[in-house]
Amino acid sequence: MSLKERFIFNFIESDRWRYLWDGLGATLKVTFFALIVGVIIGIVVAIIRSTHDKNIKDMKGASKAILKVLDLIARVYLTVIRGTPVVVQLMIMYYVVMVSSTNKILVATLAFGMNSGAYVAEIFRSGIMSIDNGQFEAGRSLGFNFVQTMQYIIIPQAFKNVLPALANEFIVLLKETSVSGYVALHDLTKGGDIIRSRTYDAFMPLIGVAIIYLVMVMFFTYLEGILERRLRNSER
């Protein structure tokens, strides 16, 4: 068959393109919500780690002990998540932690969110550590407590500094979700695999999936470039 005939056979006949369309929707849902989970976890872990590194020498008593425990938990989390493959984490989440759940999108979201959180934590930690200590002193001089200083002064500045890196993490996360098929989630890659199993033609479905991922990555990279230019212009 010619390429045109193979294209029609794989995607047009029996509306097989819908497998890719439905899978694309699941992929974007998992990526978007996993990034939200990752950002929430990442900010919390980054605050714990950066606070420990900046202030532990000046702290005393129970607050110092609590911070040491929290920092230890954060370090263990980072070590385990960054030291094991995301596929293994996804399968543990599906077959062990949430074995009774039938919501595969939720399972994938939590698994990828926890994985992304470890990397987002280091991104935010570097952003917080880059903020001058004078900003913390400014918060205290305004009568802010620690939480208010972080909320109104430190986090907004750190977020602006790490936004390009955070956008890049979104792109990496988008591509990582391609392993969701390991837990039978109908994502984009799984959609291509379903077509392949129906037509016994691997070339067209896999190339189609690759092109869709490439287009999405190029689109989000373009948006990231616009974001970086606006951030540079706002600093002038």
For the stretch 139-185, pLDDT in tens is 878 888 777 888 788 888 888 888 888 888 899 999 999 999 888 89
Predicted structure pTM score: 0.87
Q: What is the topology classification, in CATH, of domain 3-234?
A: MetI-like fold (1.10.3720)
Mean pLDDT of the chain: 88
* Number of Cβ within a 10 Å radius of residue 222: 10
Residues near 23 by Cβ (< 8 Å), separated by ≥ 6? 186, 187, 188, 189, 190, 191, 192
Cα–Cα distances (Å) from 191 to 152, 176, 188, 194, 198, in that order, read 44, 16, 5, 5, 11
The angle subtended at Cα 119 by Cα 146 and Cα 121, nearest 5°, is 5
Token digits for 208?
A: 């189609």
Q: Dump pLDDT digits (tens) for 68-87.
A: 899 999 999 999 999 999 99
Tokens of 223: 């948006």
